[in-house]
Amino acid sequence: MSFEYFNTILMPMLEGAQMTVLLFLIAILVSIPLGFLLTLMARSSIRPVAWLAQIYIYVMRGTPLLLQLLFICFGLPMLPVIGEYLVMDRFVAACLGFILNYAAYFAEIFRGGLLAIDKGQYEAAQVLGLNKWQTMTRVILPQMFRVALPAVSNESVTLVKDTALLYAVAVPELLHYAQTAVNRDFTIMPFLFAGIIYLLITLFLTILFKWLEKRFKFQ
C-alpha cells in the first residue's frame, strides 16, 4: 500500500474521527451529570419521582441503543400532530439518543457507588454535626465517585465504540468514511486504519482513567 494512498484517505478519516470524538465528548459530559441526577431521583423519598426514574432507567437499559437512535431520528417525526416539530438535525438527534441512553447506565453505576458506602459514614457525619448537604458533598459523593471510577472508565470506552452506531443514522463519522473508502478503492486498509484510530482514542482514555484512579487512591 503506497504512502500516497494513505495520504488521500487520511484527511477524510480524521474528519470522521473528529465527529466521533465530538459526539463522545458531548455524550459523556452531559450524560454523567444527568445520570447522577437520575441516581438521586431513583432513591428519592417522593415515590412518583423514584418510580419515574426507575422506569426510565429500565426502558433505556432494556432496549437497544440502535433502536433508540432510529426512534429519535426517524420515529419521532412520524408522530401525528407533533411529529413535524420533532425533526432534528441528525447529529443533534444522535447526541440526544446517546445522552439519554448513557445517562441510564451512569445512573446505575452511581447507584452501585452509593451502595458501596458504609452506613457508618453517614452516622459519623451526623454525630459530627454535618448537615445533609455537607454530608452528601463532603463525605458521600467523593467516595461514590471514587468507587464508580473503574466502571465509568469502562463505560466511556464502550461509548467510544458505540459512536459507530452513527453509521446507521447516516451521520458521517469515522466508520462511515472507512466504509466508503473500502468500497471505492477495494482495499481493507481503511478498516485497519479506522481500527487504529479507535484504539488510539481508547488508549488515551485508558491512560487518563488510570491516572485518575491513581490520583484518587487515598493511600
Partner 1 sequence: MSIIEVSNLKKSYEKLDVLKGITFNVNKNDVVAVVGPSGSGKSTMLRSLVHLEEISGGSIRVSGEDLVKDGVYSKPQEIKRITSKMGMVFQHFNLFPHLTVKENLELAPRMARKEENSVIQRRSTELLEKIGLTDKATAYPANLSGGQKQRVAIARALMMGPEILLFDEPTSALDPELTGEVLQVMKKLAEDQMTMIVVTHEMGFAKEVANRAIFMDNGEIIETGHPDELFTNPKFERTRSFLIRSLK
Q: Which residues bind partner 1 (CB under 8 A)?
A: 118, 120-121, 123-124, 126-131, 134, 138-139, 142-143, 146, 216, 218-219
Beta carbon of residue 136, minimum distance to partner 1 (angstroms, whole number): 12
Beta carbon of residue 121, minimum distance to partner 1 (angstroms, whole number): 6
Euclidean distance between CA atoms 91 and 122, whole angstroms: 43
Beta carbon of residue 137, minimum distance to partner 1 (angstroms, whole number): 9
* HSE-up of residue 55 (Cα within 13 Å, Cβ side): 6
Instruction: Report the residue number, 80 or 120, with the smaller CB distance to partner 1.
Output: 120
Instruction: Report the residue number, 48 or 129, with the smaller CB distance to partner 1.
Output: 129
Instruction: Report the residue number, 4 or 215, with the smaller CB distance to partner 1.
Output: 215
Contact partners, residue 177, CB within 8 Å, separation at least 6:
9, 12, 13, 15, 16, 190, 194
Beta carbon of residue 149, minimum distance to partner 1 (angstroms, whole number): 12
Instruction: Report the residue number, 139 or 157, with the smaller CB distance to partner 1.
Output: 139
Size of the chain, expressed as the number of residues it contains? 219
Instruction: Report the residue number, 47 or 215, with the smaller CB distance to partner 1.
Output: 215
Beta carbon of residue 216, minimum distance to partner 1 (angstroms, whole number): 8
**Residue 129 — left, alpha, or beta (φ > 0 → left; ψ -120 to 50 → alpha)?**
left
Q: 92 near 67, Cβ under 8 Å? A: no
SS (H, E, C) 65-134: HHHHHHHHHHHHHHCCCCHHHHCCCHHHHHHHHHHHHHHHHHHHHHHHHHHCCCHHHHHHHHHCCCCHHH
Q: Could you tell me the sign of the dihedral formed by the alpha carbons of 81, 82, 85, 87, in that order?
A: negative
Instruction: Report the residue number, 143 or 202, with the smaller CB distance to partner 1.
Output: 143
Beta carbon of residue 164, minimum distance to partner 1 (angstroms, whole number): 37
At 184, list the grid cell.
Answer: 471505492
Instruction: Report the residue number, 18 or 126, with the smaller CB distance to partner 1.
Output: 126
Beta carbon of residue 208, minimum distance to partner 1 (angstroms, whole number): 20
